[in-house]
Homo-oligomer: A and B are copies of this chain.
Amino acid sequence: MTDAAPAAEAALRTPRERARARTIEDIVRIGREHLALHGAAALSLRAVARDLGVVSSAVYRYVESREELLTLLLVDAYNELGDAVDAAVGARPENDFTGRFEALGAAVRNWALAQPASYALLFGSPVPGYQAPAERTTGPGTRVVVALVAILDGAWRAGNLSEAGPHAADVDVTALLAADLANIRGEMGLAVPDPVLASGVLVWTSLFGAISFEVFGQYGPDAFVARDELFAHHLGVLARLAGLRT
């Protein structure tokens, strides 16, 4: 590394800028620790400042308000999850659609179990009094579902998806629902037909339902010892429900 690389767009030129970026990273890291320990509702700028080793008002140099810190944490968590999912999916061959689907599901679950508080922030009860700014969270917040429909649409285009899973084939898609699905197909540039898309939405919510039950402790402490196997079974059933061949 020399200092003769002035063209790098994203690089931070001055030491001050670098120090500033590092401090913001520290704030986000500490914020995540607090999230994990006390939950989003109890997230406090004063406590973050204490852990940063700085007086409480100093944090306001970096973060406009408690709200903004929550947004930073939200975006950070969405991106960490999105990176984990992309890496897991990308590790499977492009035409192994079932493998990619299972990799996606396992990646979401593993991340959720490792970061339960961040998962709760993204997929649990809304934080009272906090409304995420759509323009900053929509992109990162849709990475998982985008990856999921990419797999299903890819499988469909490759002829590797049943016209509709055997369960879904004979469940009517009403006209109103079909209109929603047509919009989605248009916006995302998809080729999958209605029954597949409708089942795909259910597969999506079901995946998160199974993970939320586990992360939020809904199963109770004793009901399931074999949680990995339970989830693997669920993934297998969901893959078939989506129409993926095995």
By DSSP majority rule, is chain A's interface helix, strand, loop, or mixed? helix
- Copy number in the complex reads 2
- A3 in the interface, Cβ–Cβ < 8 Å? no
Of the candidate stretches A13-21, A49-57, A74-82, A176-184, the one touching chain B is A176-184
- A41 in the interface, Cβ–Cβ < 8 Å? yes
Q: Are A180 and B41 in contact (CB under 8 A)?
A: no
Q: Are A213 and B217 in contact (CB under 8 A)?
A: no
- Contact A180:B226 (CB < 8 A) given known A173-B233, A202-B237: yes
- A28 in the interface, Cβ–Cβ < 8 Å? no
Q: Which residue in chain B gives the minimum CB-CB distance to A171?
A: B236
Chain A interface residues (CB < 8 Å from chain B): 38-42, 120-121, 123-129, 138, 165-168, 170-174, 176-177, 179-180, 183-184, 198-199, 201-202, 205-210, 212-213, 216-218, 220, 223-226, 229-230, 232-234, 236-238, 240-241, 246
Instruction: Give 13 new A-B contacts, CB below 8 A, not counting A41-B41, A202-B206.
Output: A39-B126, A39-B128, A120-B124, A124-B125, A166-B167, A174-B226, A177-B226, A177-B229, A180-B230, A202-B210, A208-B209, A237-B241, A241-B241
4 smallest CB-CB distances across A and B, nearest first, come from A209-B209, A124-B125, A39-B128, A41-B41
